[in-house]
Structure 1
Amino acid sequence: MGRATLIGFSAVAMWALLALLTAASGNVPPFQLSAITFSIGTGVGLVAQALSPDFRKREKVPGAVWLIGIGGLFGYHFLYFTAIRNAPAVEASLIAYLWPLLIVLGSALMPGERLGWHHVAGALFGLSGAALIVTKGGSFTFESRYALGYATAAACALFWSGYSLLSRRYQAVPTSTVTWFCAATAALSAFCHLVLEDTVWPAGISEWLAVLGLGLLPVGAAFYAWDFGVKHGNIQVLGAASYAAPLLSTLILIAAGRSEPTISTLAACLLITGGAALAAKNMILRRKEPAAEAVPS
């Protein structure tokens, strides 16, 4: 359980690179960038299948899983891009970041799962920290003229939390199946690009390397790690710990010289790490118990 949870959290760490690599990829339109990076992400899965017998194993995949997987990956990105285009980025991003809290709350409906007060409290601390990060410590307002953007941002949170929770119900489906979810998402993104956008290719080697990095990590390996984590790890802890993504992203931007450290960043750090530790307190205590028993009296 602990190893699977750590693998799932590695996806959160990779998602923290999303902002930096996206900014470095130049002016490539969102759906075109999605099509390219998910194609690379498909390649990550194909290479893993070629190199690892365990990853290559195949089982019959129910039709519902295809709907969940493709709907989760493509649906999330389609709704997120739509939200950002129809509402201010701060408010849209904050609403979209409800998905970790929804995962924690929704886990109470899953067979064999127990939702404790510390899971909910940890997720709420994380949400508060994410709010400080997304709004840069400032205020945010909601206006009726952006109703479409807010609604699609909320749907975005529902799609990703639903995808994560429903994936756990199909634990027997191998993670290698995510390869084909990425392939379908790449194809659908390419279609949306051709219909909705003008083509703009990355300019120069540095932008191409940023696109490659996106496809290998946050839009590639991260989805495989997340699938394994939510299927076999502690989903409540993963949900609460997911609020580390915007914090880590901000710290990476600061380290890269693209952002400045602030008091709100420190406060967010304390809220998010404290929330994640609170959500994981049972796991931490269980790991300490054997060591305590081994100490001679």
Structure 2
Amino acid sequence: MAVMQRKQATLVGLVAVLLWSSIVGLIRGVSESFGPTGGAALIYTVASALLWIAVGKVRLRALPRAYLIWGSVLFVSYELCLSLSIGYASSARQAIEVGMVNYLWPAFTMLAAILFNRQRASWLIVPGFVVAIVGICAVLGGEQGLDLAGMARNVRDNPLSYGLAFAGAVIWAGYCTVTARIAQGKNAVTLFFMLTALALWAKYLFTGGEAMAFSMAGAVYLALAAGAMGFGYAAWNVGILHGNVTVLAGASYFIPVLSAALAAALLQAPLSFAFWKGAAMVVAGSILCWLATHGKGERSAPAEGASQTT
């Protein structure tokens, strides 16, 4: 019975991987109807309600103060960068590229764990990080692949979106590193989603948000995006707590490729062979970074904390 329950929990966790892989395309679909800020605010509002139902209410007194403060700041900052970077993209293809930049976070997380959490690592961390960075350069180089001049032109076309995506990758690496030490096994993701929704509504109200065009297609995208966000986190927590963590960790590293494939289908944005080669390099680099630290342990006692990803 215990083996069966573990397998079921692992399957639930794998569902989270699929749900998160759809987020880039769905966020873009919502932003096209409701605007970058208003669309994101609606997504996180609905997702907060879904999480409240699926995970339960937040017990503030049970949360460590440091985790409450730093977790809130880093999580909200990351989600703002993620959603707005996709929403501000000037085309569907650019939204997919921006989403790929965000998936540098696994490599950054490993580096942060080495620098700040005393995580031991092998020499594989160096080629892993380099391969991931070169992969992103290939993705941003357009049809020519690894073309630095083309990449520079691409980024200059919309520095805000690409800058937000890159900042988000760094911030999420910081969130994973910090909360692993201070969360004490607690999970405040419902609260963090609510705070993200409030921050987005504040931006929408005080900075002159874009007009929202309600439509059936937009409403469907909104429901799907909020469901992918909210139920993705709920499913991931079930998998991490009761399933095979090794299987789930390995599967999560393939999210960039799955995300690009689903976004390309949803947004009807064909992607070049050069893009897929770059995406594969991002995945390979992240896996090498993981292998560099897998089984190495920490120089000090590891802190307990809930594993989260997006």
TM over 0.5: yes
Match of 1:126 among 128, 132, 138: 132
Comparing 225-234 and 241-250, the one that deviates more: 225-234
The one-letter code sitting in structure 1 at the alignment partner of 2:261 is L
1:192 aligns with 2:198: no
Query: 90, 103, 108: which one pairs with 2:109?
Result: 103
In structure 2, give the amino acid aligned to 1:61: L
Q: Which amino acid aligns with 2:65?
A: G
> How many Å separate the matches in 2 of 1:19 and 1:45?
19
**What residue identity is the alignment partner of 2:50?**
V
Change (3 A) 1:135 1:252: farther
The 8 Å contact of residues 11 and 225 in structure 1, kept in 2 or not, is answered as: yes
CA-to-partner distance for each residue in 1:113-166, whole Å, 9 max, x for gaps? 322222443343233334333443442117899887776555433322111111
Please say if 1:75 is aligned against 2:77: yes
Match of 1:174 among 172, 176, 186: 186
Q: Which runs of 5+ in 2 are unaligned?
A: 1-5, 145-149, 296-310
Task: Single out whichever of 57-66 and 147-156 deviates more from structure 2.
Answer: 147-156
- Contact kept? 2:135, 2:279, Cα under 8 Å: yes
Shift of 1:189: 1.0
In the TM superposition, what are the counterparts of 1:1-297 in structure 2 within 5 Å?
13-25=18-30, 26-50=32-56, 60-79=62-81, 81=84, 96-111=102-117, 113-138=119-144, 139-141=150-152, 154-175=166-187, 177-196=188-207, 197-204=209-216, 206-217=217-228, 219-224=229-234, 244-256=254-266, 258-268=268-278, 270-281=280-291
> Relative to structure 1, is the Cα distance of residues 48 and 101 closer, same or farther in structure 2, using a 3 angstrom cutoff?
same
Q: Secondary structure of the residue that 1:117 maps to in structure 2?
A: coil
Q: Distance in 1 between matches of 2:134 and 2:235?
A: 26
Q: CA RMSD in A?
A: 4.5
Contact 1:94 1:134 in 2 (8 A): no
Instruction: Please tell me whether the aligned partners of residues 96 and 156 of structure 1 are also in contact (alpha carbons under 8 angstroms).
Output: yes
Q: CA deviation at 1:97?
A: 4.8
**1:4-52 deviation per Cα after TM superposition (whole angstroms, max 9, x unaligned):** 99988765543321232134333212222222111222223222235xx
Q: Which amino acid aligns with 1:159?
A: I
What percent of counterpart residues are identical?
20
What is the CA deviation profile of residues 186-243 of structure 1, one whole-angstrom value per residue up to 9, with x for unaligned ones?
1111111111203404311x321211111111x32344566788999989x95x9766
How many angstroms does 1:106 deviate by?
0.6
Specify whether residues 280 and 245 from structure 1 end up closer, same or farther in structure 2 by C-alpha distance, changes over 3 A only: same
Cα distance in 2 between the residues matched to 1:62 and 1:166: 13
* 1:244–1:58 Cα change, 3 Å: same
Find the counterpart in structure 2 of residue 292 from structure 1.
Answer: none
Whether the aligned pair in 1 keeps the contact of 2:23 and 2:225 (CA below 8 Å) is yes
CA distance in structure 1 between the partners assigned to 2:10 and 2:111 by the alignment: 18
AA of the residue aligned to 1:271: M
Contact 1:107 1:115 in 2 (8 A): no
8 Å Cα contact 1:107/1:165 also seen in 2: yes
The normalised TM-score by structure 2 is 0.67
Alpha-carbon offset, residue 56 of structure 1: 8.3
Instruction: Give the TM-score normalised by structure 1.
Output: 0.70
Q: Give yes or no for contact 2:138–2:274 (8 Å, CA) kept in 1.
A: yes
| Aligned partners of 2:74 and 2:175 also within 8 Å | yes
